Amino acid sequence: MMRLKGMKAVITGGSRGIGRAIAVAFAREGADVAVTARALQSLADTVAEVEALGRRAVPMQWDVRDAASASERLVAARDSLGGLDIVINNAGVLRDPDLSPVDNWDYVLDTNLRGVYFICQAAGELLGESGGGVIVNIASDYGYRAAPTPYGISKWGVIGLTRGLGKELAPKGVRLNAIAPGPVATEMSNWHPGDPLENARLPLGRLTRPDEIASIAVFLSCDESSAVIGESIVVNTGNS
């Protein structure tokens, strides 16, 4: 049985890696998706995979650093899909080697935390008005390590935001949770297709696959997790 049959979802950062895997997993479970990226053309492969599964995919250009556009973009996605049930805050960055430390702080925090905050606020209001829904944030296990880097601080903030706002949104019928991946086989982790998954530093001996993160996103988006509120599920092959 399809666990997300007939549902409509927005997935930010859907062009590759975890976002792309979530879009495909949602399509397999019966959902139509709007996938976003800063460059519209980068979404072509994700759209093709979703449509090959018989589901609808709406590509959208969206830089989540533009916090003022969060509500407008979500409304546009809802109107294009014919409804909105799920919002996945996946868009994220690690660093830009061409930027100064100060500019990197703004680049990472504006993308990973400020953008997530305002999308959560807009999605909570929009979903609450329509009777409820689900928000899933993609955090990181770095958020639990007190890592003194813009990335670590941003993900620590996402975990805190999820816990606090999750309690506020629950009475409105909106469930907010997060996933905190460890090292995942994506380009952000310097992994490329064809590279081995094996990694001797990790207890399980390999990197997490994007589809393993996607399966948790499906769980958090369906009725099986109806009593899970404000939690961040760590998926990191035992990394600590």
Active site residues: 151
| Cα separation, 40 vs 125, whole angstroms | 27
Sign of CA dihedral 79, 84, 86, 87: positive
Parallel, antiparallel, or unpaired: how do β-strands 232-235 and 8-11 relate?
unpaired
Sign of CA dihedral 42, 46, 51, 52: positive
Q: Which two tokens mark 34?
A: 């709007």
Q: Which two tokens mark 183?
A: 């090292």
- Stated as kind and residue range, the H or E segment containing 120 is helix 115-129
Give 115: exposed, middle or buried? Use CB within 10 Å, 0-12, 13-18, 19+.
buried
| Cα separation, 134 vs 164, whole angstroms | 15
Q: Which two tokens mark 69?
A: 């556009």
Position 189: which residue type? S
Give 134: exposed, middle or buried? Use CB within 10 Å, 0-12, 13-18, 19+.
buried
- The angle, 0 to 180 degrees and rounded to 10, between the axes of the packed helices 210-221 and 17-28 is 50
